[in-house]
Amino acid sequence: MREPVNTLTHFVTFLAGLVGLVFLIILSHNNPSKLITMTIYGVSLIMLYGASTVYHWVKTTPEKQRVLRKLDHISIFLLIAGTYTPVLYYGLDGIWRWTMLFAVWALSLTGIVLKVFFIGVHRSVSTAFYISLGWMALIPMAKLVQSFPIEAIILLFLGGLAYTIGGVIYATKIFNFFPNKFGFHEVFHIFISLGSVLHFIMIKRFILPI
């Protein structure tokens, strides 16, 4: 393993996400719109953790490593947009729903294109893009709080906070306890997994039953 801790944390999250995807599909199969939104979310979840696991596990040539790194970074944008999909679809309606979904997916696709051609951009720039995109939920927040109970909003916020803390740790390289063994990158991975778990709980408890 190239990076054992990073590989294991995200492999475990990948397996949990795979089980979660099957669970979401089974429980939403009678509702076409819910099946589509849940599948988009679940697939984006396992794509991120699958890509991350492979990237941090495999030792290969620099050229192939660069491709794996691109897939790893691209999948972050897919998970952001994928997580937004059921939240915005069921939390908003009318012009708000479609405008926000279009904006999130358009910006995510823009980020993907930038990653394909400019993978070497400084980590602080990439992190700022990820975090800004993630907190776009604040724009329709007044409407989301009318659609979901406060517990759902708290989980949504805490998940975003976990992602943000992880992103800041990644960008600044703080908490670098044992470099190359358990440093800032490993701490970052743990916070990202935590953010995903919190958002999954929110979607499963408060959106799936709608």
Domains and CATH numbers, the chain: 4-207 (1.20.1070)
Phi, psi dihedral angles at 178 (to 5 degrees): -130, 85
Which residue in 154, 147, 159, 143 sits closest to 198, CA to CA? 159
pLDDT at 122: 82
Helices (H), 118-174: 123-134, 141-147, 150-172
Task: Give whole-number Cα distances, 163 to 4, 68, 90, 183, in Å.
Answer: 21, 22, 22, 17
Q: Walk along the chain (210 residues) in steps of 10 and give the mean pLDDT of each run.
A: 92 98 97 98 98 96 94 97 99 98 98 89 89 97 98 99 96 87 94 99 97
Taking the C-alpha atoms of residue 198 and residue 96, their distance in angstroms, rounded to an integer, is 25
- Cβ atoms of 21 and 201 within 8 Å: the answer is no
